[in-house]
Amino acid sequence: MLNDDEWPPLRPLGVGIRGRCPRCGQGHLFDGFLKIADECDYCDLDFSFADPADGPAFFVICFACVPSLIMGLWIELAYQAPYWVHLVTTLPFLLLTCIPPLRPLKGWLIASQYYYKATEGKRVMDES
């Protein structure tokens, strides 16, 4: 099997949003909806480096939840709508804009970690 330097570099956005391995672009990154697989089923890359933390949730909150909340408030303030109107308008909009983007965003962040060789920051003490 080829080592990391012998694989051609793949764009993180291209492989990440499709949920593919950041090294080979063929294997699956996920084992379930959001659970990261242990390793690539094609090139055997170990995914233990992958730690997107709360990044996907942060992006979804900023770009999906806030507009959904604004839409719900607008419906309430403009029309004084009953609760059932919010159940058939705001709730589906909220679910459709918040849940589907989580997986592509998580894949993109993991692929970016691999591509840029991101690791945990370490404090270096100056010895002078």
| Residues written for the chain | 128
Q: What are the respective helix, strand and coil percentages of the chain, to the nearest 5?
A: 50, 5, 45
Domain-embedded: residue 109? yes
Q: What is the pLDDT of residue 2?
A: 63
Domain-embedded: residue 120? no
Distance, in Å, from the CA atom of 124 to the CA atom of 59, rounded to the nearest integer, reads 31
Range of the domain at 62: 4-115
pLDDT tens column, 8-50: 899 999 999 999 999 999 999 999 999 999 999 999 999 999 9
pLDDT tens column, 59-105: 999 998 889 999 999 999 999 999 999 999 999 999 999 999 999 99
Domain-embedded: residue 17? yes
Domain-embedded: residue 49? yes
Residue where the block lists tokens 């009953």: 82
- Assess contact for 43 and 7: CB atoms under 8 A: yes
Domain-embedded: residue 94? yes
Q: What is the pLDDT of residue 113?
A: 94
- Into how many domains does the chain fold? 1
pLDDT range class, residue 125, cuts 50, 70, 90: confident
